[in-house]
């Protein structure tokens, strides 16, 4: 350690490494803590529920997307909000969008058609949330429960807050990542995605 202290260049490298570890560790902690807290345990009701899109196959939601939609249907049935927004555009070659396939699924699950709105905009989370913010403002809404996978909670809440939405995260654990081993890569990816958004806001 004394050798490092005598060399300014080595000291700068050591400081940069320690700072990087601190930032990464702090971001990982934020992501993990947000993933393990359901805001619906603190907040009874919001203006709306919004389901973040995921893969769909010719109008059929993937297991991950279905898990999110089922959670939103449960929340709607509990009276948590009177409106459900489903977000997400499509991939090249898709005949249906994530938003439209999700809306159709929720209606089949018994959510009234008048209460479900598809917003088929956005190929990134931020683009979809920006479209949601526009729609909510047009409807005079301020608050929303965001439904995604748990490791997304910190980032989607931060994004929504930056867009002027009072956001609460209520994630579903019924996704394809059902074991700790399968979830670990999600936490790692999301830690760096969260850091990237904090740096570049996109």
**Average pLDDT in the 64-82 region?**
97
Residue 135 has pLDDT above 80, yes or no: yes
At residue 6, the pLDDT reads 60
b (16+ CB within 10 A) / e for 65-101: bbbbbbbbbebbeeebbebbbbbbbbeeebebbbbbb
Per-residue pLDDT, 78: 97
The arithmetic mean of pLDDT across residues 109-122, rounded, is 97
Average pLDDT of every residue of the chain? 89
Output the furthest CA–CA distance in the chain (Å, rounded). Answer: 71
Pair of tokens at residue 200:
């570049």
Confidence of residue 5 (pLDDT cuts 50, 70, 90): low
- Report whether pLDDT(107) > 80: yes
Structure confidence at residue 183 as a pLDDT band (50, 70, 90)? confident
| Residue 120, both tokens | 């088929």
Q: Which domains does the chain have, with CATH numbers?
A: 35-200 (3.40.50.620)
């Amino acid at each position: 350690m004394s050798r490092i202290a005598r060399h300014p260049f080595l000291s700068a490298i050591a400081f940069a490494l320690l700072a990087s570890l601190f930032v990464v560790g702090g971001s990982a902690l934020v992501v993990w803590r947000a993933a393990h807290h359901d805001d619906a345990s603190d907040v009874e009701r919001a203006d709306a529920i919004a389901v973040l899109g995921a893969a769909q196959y010719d109008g059929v939601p993937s297991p991950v997307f279905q898990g999110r939609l089922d959670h939103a249907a449960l929340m709607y049935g509990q009276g948590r909000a009177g409106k459900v927004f489903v977000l997400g555009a499509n991939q090249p070659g898709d005949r249906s969008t994530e938003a439209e396939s999700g809306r159709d699924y929720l209606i089949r699950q018994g959510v009234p058609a008048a209460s479900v709105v598809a917003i088929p905009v956005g190929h990134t989370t931020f683009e979809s949330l920006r479209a949601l913010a526009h729609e909510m403002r047009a409807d005079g809404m301020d608050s929303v429960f965001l439904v995604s996978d748990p490791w997304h909670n910190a980032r989607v809440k931060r994004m929504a807050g930056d867009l002027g939405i009072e956001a609460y995260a209520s994630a579903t654990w019924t996704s394809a990542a059902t074991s700790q081993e399968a979830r670990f890569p999600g936490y790692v990816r999301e830690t760096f995605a969260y850091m990237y958004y904090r740096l570049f806001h996109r």
